[in-house]
Each structure stands twice: as structure tokens, then as C-alpha cells.
Chain A
Amino acid sequence: MEKFYLTTPIYYVNDVPHIGHAYTTILADVIKRYKQLRGLRVMFLTGTDEHGQKIERSAARQGLTPQQLADRMVAHFQKLWATLNIEYDAFIRTTDAVHVRGVQKIFSRVMEQGDIYRGEYAGHYCISCENFIPDSVEETADGKRACPDCGRLTDNRVSETCYFFRLSAYGDRLLKFYEENPEFVTPRSRMNEVVSFVKMGLRDLSVTRSTVKWGIPVPGDPQQTIYVWFDALSNYITAIDYLGEGERFHGLWPADLHIMAKDILKYHAVYWPAFLMAAGLPLPRKELIHGWWLKDEKKMSKSSGNVLDPHILLRHFSPDAIRYFLMREASIGADGNFSHEGFISRVNTDLTNDWANLVSRTTGMIEKYFAGEFSGAGLYTER
């Protein structure tokens, strides 16, 4: 039986699960079940991203250790997935020993190969995105820079010794790969974004931090922890025993499908393939990029207070109704719009009026007209 290995991103435990997490995970579960229906042997991986400065700080605020905070949040995710009938085959946590050691293994391998080197970093750092802000971003009059990912202004400057990944050496190889695999990123508009990003030129990427304690130590240099994206992306291989690199790993890798929202496209379609090339591993076959869920045509965000809580929906709707609405209304590539009115009428119209009604009328007529003497054989067939 042909295998199909699919993944969701691992979710950052700084946040409770919202409708965006639910959508990505339901989409993955629907694809899993569909591929099974088509006769494939599916491995479906999801999990949680638990390291980084944000977790360190939230935990401290709540008087918890980072691990305690992570454990609590993981329970929220797992409970929601069970309620929504998500049947993942593996759940990876970046604090799992197998992950920690797997990340150290790929890190060491890339370093031995020469594409991770020690250097000096000085500049702005966005704590929210755990991201260095490149010097190309213009500084405001009061010495702040806007994070290119989230747009927040920060004057948080760091200067430290750290390890860099030689991303600049991979531009041509990446472009060649995209050219040979034009369907690598779906939909095509997202593929084009990736190509233009790489064509603008790639700079080496800092992959460790010396000021973050809550992370995976660099092998042989425990003062440094591995940068969260290098850590997080590696979950796709550590979860299938990259550490052992035996039959299980080779039977499943490369992944057939990584699913994600558009905001983390760059990490998955540029950095991740480059890391894999440097480690001498095959690249994933396809990445499926979906849009965001808008609430009444506005982007949901914690700051605007319109984040949709799946638990409220679950008090009124069956998991099936939620799964149906999200699959029916979202078009891959575009943002989906969520309104309570749209939700209720979609469910009442399609599922109750049309589908459930068809089933109940048919069974009702069989009971009424044939009362238990309805045989499937030898009947006149209409079509």
C-alpha cells in the first residue's frame, strides 16, 4: 500500500486553540480520511511547539515552569482534537526527548557539513515572532524597527555571539528546485511569492540564541539554544525517528504534504528545504497553503478581540457541523469568512434540510410502505 505522510504545523503553546488551529487540523484530518478512502496508508502528524522566549516569559508571569505551562496547554489542544474527531497518528511535542535529540542530530550534521558557523549578531529582535529584524528594515526616528512579519515596532536590541546557517548559499539551488517542482507550493500564487522572495536574495540566518534558556542546547555549546524555527521545523522528521534513521524514517520521509496557513509559508518553503538540503535529506513533496479565517470580513486577532472560540460553537453544533462548515466555506488560497449567520444557515440548510431530510424521508417511506419486508435483491432499478 502506498504511504501518505501529512502534517499540520506544530502549534505554539503560548495561545489556546482558536478556529484557525481547528481549521488547519480539520483540513488535515479530512485529507487523511480521504486518502484512506482512496486506499493509501496514511501517517498524520500534529503536535505542539513549546520552546522560546515567549513561553519562558508567560510561564514566569503565571508562576509556572515553562514545562508546566506547556503541559497545561497541550492538554487543551489534545482535548479539542478528540472532540472534533481528529484522528492523528502521532503527536509530537518539541520537549519530547526524541525531538530534542533529533534536532541536535540535524544541527550537528549541518555544522559538520560546514553550513552552520559561529558569528556575531547585533540588531533588533522581535520577541513576538522570535525573529531577528534585518538591517534592511528602516529605523524610525526613535530607534525602533518594525518586524517584517507582525509589523510591531520594537526597540529591543540584542548583540550576541551565535550560530548562523549559510542560507545565502542556497538561493540558486532553491530556485532550481522550485523550477523543477512548480507544484511544490499550492496554490500557485503562493509559489510565486516564494520565488520572488528568494530572488530578492537570501541572507544567512541566525539559528541560535544565547539569551534564551528555554530551548534545545547546541551540542557542545550549552550556552546557546537552538533558534525556535530550526527547532520547530525539525519536528517533521524527529517525529518519525530521524534519530534512529532506520526503516521507519526511510519508509515515511519525505513528507507528502505539509499543511499550513499563509503566515508561515516562508519558513516552510524557503528555510525548511534549505535545512534539509544541508542535511542531505530529500525535500517534502508538497505544501498546501491556506488563507486565514476572517470574522465578518475582518482578520481575527487577539488584539482586536474577535478571535473565535471553537468551544462556543461546540456547545451548539455537532463536530460534524463544524467540520462541514469549515470545509464548505473555505477555498484554498483565499481567506474564508466566518459569520454566525452564515454558519447557522449553512448548517440548517445543507445538513438539516437537504441531507438529513433526504435520509429520513427515504427511511420513513421504507418503514411505512414496506414495514420490514424490503429486500435489496431482485428489485426493479430506476437508474
Chain B
Amino acid sequence: MERAVLELFDQYQFNRGLELVFDYVNGLNRYIVEAQPWNLAKEETDRPRLAGVLKTLCRAILSVNALLSPILTATTAKVREIFRSGDAGLGWKDLPEEFAIGQGTQLFPRVDRNAFFSEAEPAPAASQGATMQEPKTPETVSPPQGPVVPQADAATKLSAAPQGDAAAQPPAAPPSAAGEGLIEIGDFKKVQMVVARVLAAEKVEKADKLLKLQVDTGDGTRTLVAGIALHYKPEELVNRKIIIVKNLKPAKLRGILSQGMILAASDADNRPYVPFLPEETPIGAILK
């Protein structure tokens, strides 16, 4: 990867070089999903392998960091600080023997879309984009307190212990709605959430982040597309019981019609945590 990137940078083709760098970054995110460090952490005998996975990630991050350093001047300096790496040069990095990491900081806080648009394009209404888990409806322009907020709240409350690696991070603060943000129970009831069993799951071609799920809702089966592929492998989901929103308008994602959406909590980095329900929960049970 590095050699190809340098060749492109040498020709001042920074756009193409950066494309390769971010393909690699996505590969590293997938590597975490495949290596499943959270499972390795359960067994003492797996500790050396767990350490190996993490060390590999550290070295890869520092190598990528060097390639990004001409562009991301401030953040790459922060990353070197976090990993206590004095070496800003190119190449695959060794880690110092006395290796410790410093305090992590938020490298790129998520930009508030509404605040940005209200200043940058004051006149026309800004379209509300989809979050990672929310299938993008063709109609767009859902108000900021649309399905996203109850979804995150509900998921957090309902979640069986979320799997994964993150230390307890606070869920992303819900976007502040106009007024006090309180809704009537009737508004909540409009959202039909039910328990479904995942029958099948597969990656969506040419879409790194999407999984196509076949689920059983008790009264039939339906297809859903979920933006969780960077963090969940298809086989982690099959046969699990999850929560879906049943009455969401169907939307096409990468040519696949998604009939509803799955619920997941999401942290500040938009990492999804899918709540899995106990095996005895009946399929089709309504959440209320």
C-alpha cells in the first residue's frame, strides 16, 4: 500500500493516494471485526494473540499516520502523541519496548450538519442525512427529532449487554429538537418496533458498510439493509433476536429494497451496538 501511495503522491495525485490510504483504513476496521478481540479477551490462553492483534493495529495506524501527516498536520501529531511515537517518518513502525498509550482525544468531532448548513446555506432547507444505521429514505428531510432519537434511546434502554470493545462511551447526544423536545405517547406509538429473528445475513457487494439481512417477524419474512458491516460479521447475527422498526417506509439501498430498519445504539464515533434479546423472547413481540 505504502509504495503505491508514494508513487501517486510523487505525481502530486493526492486524491488517488488518499483513496488508497482510506481503503487500507477500512481494511483495518474489518480486520478488527474478523479478529474479534473481544472474544480473544475472554480466554487467558488467547492473551498473546490479543496482544498481537492490538500491536499490529498500532503499527499499522502509525504507518498510515505518517502518510497522512502532510495533509492532517495537527491530528497526526496528536496520534503520535497518543502512541508516544517520536518517529514521524515513513515505513512500518516498530513499537518502543516501553510502550504505553496516552490519553485518547476525539480526533475529528462529528460536524453538526444543521449548524453548518444554517450558516453556509442560510436560505434553502438543508436535507437531513441518514445516520449509519438508518436506511436513507428517498423523501429525506426528516426533522432532526425523527426516528433517530427514539431509536437511540430505546436501544440504549433495551440493550442486552452490548458486545464489542469500546469502553463505556456515552451515546451520542441526541440532536436538540426545537422546543423542549418532549413527545406525546401517541407519537412514540407510531413507531412499530418488534422482535425479529435474523434468518440470513450477507455483505452487500461494493458497499463496505452494508449488510443485507433476512428476518422473521412472526407474521412473515422481510429484507433489511443495515449499515453495520464494519462492526458485525454476518455470522454474528444469524439466529440472533433483534429489534426492528416495522412501519418505516421501504427504501432502496444499493438496489436492495430495505423494509424497515434494525435498532442499534450508536456512540460518538457512530460505532453501532446492536442489542440482542434473550433467546426466549417471542418473535413478533411488540416493544412498547
A binding-site residues for B, Cβ under 8 Å: 27, 29-34, 37-38, 85, 186, 288, 312-313, 315-321, 323-324, 327-332, 340-341, 344-345, 347-348, 350-370, 372, 374-377, 379-383
Contacts and interface: CB of A to CB of B under 8 A. Distances in A.
Best-surrounded residue of B72, B95, B167 (most CB of chain A within 10 A): B72
B139 interface: no
A74 B240 CA distance: 63
Contacts of A368: 41, 165, 167
Interface of B: 6, 9, 12-16, 18-19, 22, 25-26, 28-29, 32, 35, 37-38, 41, 48-58, 61, 64, 66, 68-75, 79, 82, 88-90, 94-101, 104, 106-113, 115-117, 119-121, 127, 129, 132, 165-167, 169, 269-271
A320 B71 contact: yes
A329 to B, nearest CB: 7
Given A312-B120, A362-B54, A37 B89 contact: yes
B165 A374 contact: no
Contacts of B271: 357, 361
Contact residues of A: prevailing secondary structure: helix
Given A327-B14, A358-B25, A376-B96, A315 B119 contact: yes
Nearest to B116: A316
B58 A362 contact: yes
Contacts of A85: 73-74
B72 A379 contact: no
Contact of A369 (B13, B50, B95, B169): B50
Contacts of B108: 318, 320-321, 347, 351-352, 355-356
B145 to A, nearest CB: 20
B55 A376 contact: yes
Contact of B52 (A354, A358, A379): A379
B106 A356 contact: yes
A360 B32 CA distance: 12
Contact of A316 (B57, B112, B167, B270): B112
A367 B167 contact: yes
Contacts of B15: 327-331
B73 A33 contact: yes
Contacts of B38: 365
A-B pairs, 6 with minimum CB distance? A376-B95, A376-B99, A380-B52, A33-B70, A377-B97, A382-B56
B269 A353 contact: yes
A323 B13 contact: no
Nearest to B97: A377
Nearest to A85: B73
B72 A374 contact: no
A383 B167 CA distance: 26
A347 B110 CA distance: 8
Given A355-B25, A362-B58, A381 B270 contact: no
Nearest to A319: B74
A283 to B, nearest CB: 20
Contact of B71 (A324, A362, A366): A324
Contact of A320 (B73, B89, B96, B167): B73
Contacts of A360: 104, 106-107, 166, 269
B104 A363 contact: yes
Given A352-B111, A352-B269, 5 more contacts: A30-B70, A318-B75, A320-B75, A321-B111, A364-B104
Most chain B CB atoms below 10 A, which of A313, A331, A362, A367? A362
Contacts of B269: 352-353, 356-357, 360-361
Contacts of B116: 316-317, 340, 344
Contacts of B71: 30, 320, 323-324, 327
27 contacts: A30-B14, A33-B69, A37-B89, A38-B6, A38-B90, A85-B74, A186-B12, A288-B12, A313-B120, A316-B120, A318-B74, A327-B18, A329-B15, A331-B16, A341-B129, A344-B129, A354-B29, A355-B64, A358-B32, A359-B107, A361-B32, A365-B37, A368-B167, A376-B98, A380-B52, A381-B56, A382-B55
